[in-house]
Amino acid sequence: MPRYLLIESRDPFDSNDTGFCRDLATQLAAAKNEVTLFLVQNGVLPARSGARSGDLTKLVGAGVRVLADSFSLKERGIDEKRLASGVAAAPLDVVLDALSEGAKVIWH
């Protein structure tokens, strides 16, 4: 089964095109692929519980693994304990591991 890692660095409060990663992740998961959405930089902003996090919760329900970069969370003062349901904090090593394991990676 193909593995995909989608990296989102933009936040939906500032960019109208963040739906691209959500839509692609949903389609890939529906096609029975293993999909992880990794949020970095300002992309972690909607990971806060209640802060437009409903889209991320839907992704988790669709079978997409949603991770938020722990360094980006700290930089923005977001407590890892206050993340939306189903969203987990993770180190940037996730990206390096995915690359070394042959996952298809798309950075947005």
Q: What is the pLDDT of residues 16-70, one digit of tens each?
A: 777 888 899 999 999 999 999 999 999 999 998 876 677 888 999 999 999 999 9
Torsion of CA 107, 47, 19, 5, to 10 degrees: 30
What amino acid occupies position 67? L
Residue 1, pLDDT score: 76
Binned at pLDDT 50, 70 and 90, residue 13 comes out as confident
Q: What angle do CA 86, 44, 83 make, to 5 degrees?
A: 35
Binned at pLDDT 50, 70 and 90, residue 12 comes out as confident
67: burial class by Cβ within 10 Å (0-12, 13-18, 19+)? buried
What domains can be seen in the chain, in order of their start residue? 3-107 (3.40.1260.10)
CA distance 108 to 94: 16
Measured in whole angstroms, the distance separating CA 99 from the mean position of its chain's CA atoms is 16
Read off the pTM: 0.93
Residue 52, pLDDT score: 67
